[in-house]
Structure 1
């Protein structure tokens, strides 16, 4: 069948729309399919893309091509201040959106399949513990420190991949147990600013088991205290919001084999090992502070 130039023009006009309008239609279609928190995350990620299209002069989403995707990626790296985790999140949400555009025949081809999502692995992440070790630590916490500060801290870090500073900055009101997510908010000029400031603001889903740990921590172990700014921290000590060094010391202790596995990687006698003694002291302090 021969398609006339008039028919091609009419088809092009019917599929032409602004990036903002296309994103709104995409999110509207996803609304009944995903959790509200997931939809909010997608909206946040795609908001950055829509803002970029305004700067780049991409007024019609049907003109989107691989060069635009590449330019957006460069923009986010050079001007967006994103880290190795945020960029993949941005691009993953964008790829789902691009796939939707293809399904609606707004754009042609298989652009979504050709999108390259950066691998979040980096030198910093090479030092992270593996899943098997994390399970051992969580089992140890489940048995001996259930619902304590350290249990809640490690569960949050493992499930979200947050920096310690981000977890420390969470307020009680940032945790939404019914919807199962935490809201990361940049609060400038205070004691808990985020490293990437406004760019780091987001909502992150939590697994149900993490929410169970947090719920029990809040009910049983969390101290009803405020910090120097009158805010209610999610994680607390008897004196208010824990300092970063305190949280780091506890994570360092939790990730030592002599702590969670009960055996020394250097075949030392734990009763004579100063480091092991320090870790046991931290565990004792963890109970006292809870």
Structure 2
């Protein structure tokens, strides 16, 4: 087989372009980030043609990642899996010898190492929601956090909601995949769903937010977003900032578990919310919401559909219940044994 010369940086760009057809924008961004280290290594070692990549060189790259970079085992596994997929693509365009990808050994990571324990628990969520309903009712922060907690949706799904996606009479939110106007869902068409809002306080606060505090604006595509700023649809980063803000204990509980002086702490400033060790991003809220649903004995299959996540992924990455909580949930079904 005659290999066609291909520079590493060109190969990465062409690979990422090819993935735009079958992967979400967030997946493409993740792969771009993960392959940056390979390009750095290629530059350091003088690898300027993918034709030269062999199983032995791939092993050297892996060892460089381990020795030269501050990386944990879970991240290493993720990055090497992406690298192997990239090399398979290089094989498909005759840039790398066939079989090279299969020589890349990806270290196995235990299920326990993969699971992230960080999540918002029920008690914390209730405290945040109670505080927001009392002191920031119908504010953007309040409806963002309560919606994330009640529906368990992803940040991107919340960002994608339009005003017309809230159906107050039937009390549900319609999540829609609209990539042509820059609001794709992670699972694309498979992520589309209607999610019931069964919580009376959330339903009422959404109505009041729309009536009193939502900016009557359209985005650059002429759509009317549900969650807005003065300039249009709220960005994903702004959603994250709101969640950082409300998950700080000094915000909703008036105390600091880190022995900091609240008046002097940089975490009390908008630019420093994420510097609080207790502040959390939207993903731990989603993980906690899924766990809360399971603790209320909602079947995994129902939670899977509501939160747009497969049962297998739910079990491995999102179920933060303890072994005792799982036993208690099962016990109710065993009375007649």
TM-score where L is the length of structure 2: 0.46
Aligned-pair CA distance for 1:126: 3.2
Residue 181 of structure 2 aligns to a residue whose secondary structure is coil
Residue 178 of structure 1 aligns to a residue whose secondary structure is coil
**Conserved? CA contact 2:267–2:273, under 8 Å:** no
Name the CA shift for 1:125/1:211 in 2 (closer, same or farther; >3 Å): farther
Q: 1:156 aligns with which of 111, 136, 147?
A: 147
Q: Does 1:181 align with 2:175?
A: no
- What runs of 5+ residues in structure 1 fail to find an aligned partner? 1-120, 283-290
- What runs of 5+ residues in structure 2 fail to find an aligned partner? 1-111, 275-337
**Conserved? CA contact 1:181–1:206, under 8 Å:** yes
Name the CA shift for 1:125/1:194 in 2 (closer, same or farther; >3 Å): farther
- Counterparts of 2:113 and 2:228 in 1: how far apart (Å)? 31
**Conserved? CA contact 1:182–1:206, under 8 Å:** yes
Aligned-pair CA distance for 1:276: 1.9
Aligned-pair CA distance for 1:169: 0.3
Q: 2:117 aligns with which of 109, 116, 126?
A: 126
Q: Does 1:275 align with 2:284?
A: no
**Conserved? CA contact 2:156–2:236, under 8 Å:** yes
- Aligned residue in 1 for 2:132: 141
TM-score where L is the length of structure 1: 0.53
- Aligned residue in 1 for 2:195: 204
- Counterparts of 2:269 and 2:238 in 1: how far apart (Å)? 17
Q: How does 1:211-290 map to 2 (within 5 A)?
A: 211-278=203-270
**Conserved? CA contact 1:160–1:206, under 8 Å:** yes
**Conserved? CA contact 2:218–2:225, under 8 Å:** yes
Residue 269 of structure 2 aligns to a residue whose secondary structure is helix
Name the CA shift for 1:175/1:124 in 2 (closer, same or farther; >3 Å): farther
Residue 189 of structure 1 aligns to a residue whose secondary structure is helix
Name the CA shift for 1:165/1:122 in 2 (closer, same or farther; >3 Å): farther
Q: List, as ranges, runs of 4+ consecutive aligned residues in structure 1 with deviation greater than 4 Å.
A: 121-125, 279-282
The root-mean-square deviation of aligned C-alpha atoms, in Å, is: 2.2
Name the CA shift for 1:281/1:164 in 2 (closer, same or farther; >3 Å): closer
Q: Does 1:195 align with 2:189?
A: no
**Conserved? CA contact 1:182–1:204, under 8 Å:** yes
**Conserved? CA contact 2:171–2:197, under 8 Å:** yes
Aligned-pair CA distance for 1:271: 1.2
Name the CA shift for 1:123/1:152 in 2 (closer, same or farther; >3 Å): farther
**Conserved? CA contact 2:171–2:203, under 8 Å:** yes
